[in-house]
Amino acid sequence: MMRMIATASAVLLISLGVFAQEGQLDALRGQVPLLEERTPEPLYDAENDDRRRSRAYPMQPPTIPHKIDNYQVDLNANRCMSCHSRQRVGETQAPMISVTHYMDRDGNFLAELSPRRYFCDQCHVPQTDAPLAVENRFVDIAEILRQRRETQE
């Protein structure tokens, strides 16, 4: 049994190597051969224009329209909550985290931020001015319905 596994993994590794050399497997490496170092992408600027983006689907976590460099989010502090918590929004004018962030998984409301919503950047991400790697062909459902009504008329 062990020998079979060893042979199988050896075959797999060899074929992986071959594919990687042809640049077919690793989307991040692109066509660069395994033994060569890729020229890294330039660093792109995070969007910081305070303009909200519209959402692409219901319940999508909104993207972050500001920089979050060096914002501490760990056991000791949550920098995001210093602006976005219920208590602070009056002062900061940041949009309040929605009620779902105060709910546990059974739908009970908590007085404090729910632990499952503590690490904000698990769901919310800043945007950069990087060129799109893949084109986005998303169309909002409202637009699809509008087009359908037009063709039916």
Q: Would you call 60 helix, strand, or coil by DSSP?
A: coil
Shortest distance in whole angstroms from residue 135 CB to ligand HEC: 23
The one segment of 4-12, 30-38, 68-76, 143-151 that binds ligand HEC by CB under 6 A: 68-76
Using the rule CB under 6 A, is 56 a contact of ligand HEC? no
- Give the gyration radius of the chain's Cα atoms: 23
- For 92, phi then psi, to 5°, come to -95, -15
**Which amino acid, 149?**
R
In angstroms, give the least distance from the CB of 115 to ligand HEC.
10
Q: Per-residue x/- marks for ligand HEC, 74-113, CB under 6 A?
A: ----xxxxxxx-------xxxx-xx-xx-----------x
* Whether 119 contacts 73, CB under 8 Å: yes
100: nearest Cα among 142, 53, 58: 58
Q: Residues interacting with ligand HEC, by CB under 6 A?
A: 50, 52, 59, 61-62, 64-66, 68, 71, 73, 78-84, 92-95, 97-98, 100-101, 113, 117, 119-124
